[in-house]
Amino acid sequence: MSFTDRQEILWDDVEDLKLRRRDTPLDGHPQEWYSKHYIIKLTTILGREFYMWDPGQPVIWTEEKSGGFRYSYSKMGRWSRDSDMNEAKLNAQERGVDGKITFELING
């Protein structure tokens, strides 16, 4: 078995799609879109809106609101959200994107 064969076994398009559409926040809640939660939003000076999809290093953004990383409406969720907002600001500055980083309460 070659290295590329092993890569094909490990790479699963269905799993990749699940990862790209995942909606589990850091503290594990809320699992459903209709639950009360926060998402982090970047509004550029041109009016385009981006939502933080992955708070890891580097931060990944999406233009799909439903793809925004979810933070539960709890103390732990707010702490995580505030910490990740700082990372989002740094990431936007590193990429040279002018805009405003805010959070949005969904279903609040």
Q: How far apart are CA 75 and CA 81, in angstroms?
A: 10
Per-residue burial over 74-91, b = 16 or more CB atoms within 10 Å of its CB, e = otherwise = beebeebbeebbebbbeb
CB 68 within 8 A of CB 41: yes
What does the pLDDT read at residue 98? 87
| Residue-level pLDDT at 73 | 86
pLDDT of residue 69: 87
What pLDDT, on the 0 to 100 scale, is given for residue 20?
Answer: 55
With a cut of 50, say whether residue 8 has pLDDT above it.
no
pLDDT of amino acid 3: 43
- Quote the pLDDT of residue 54: 84
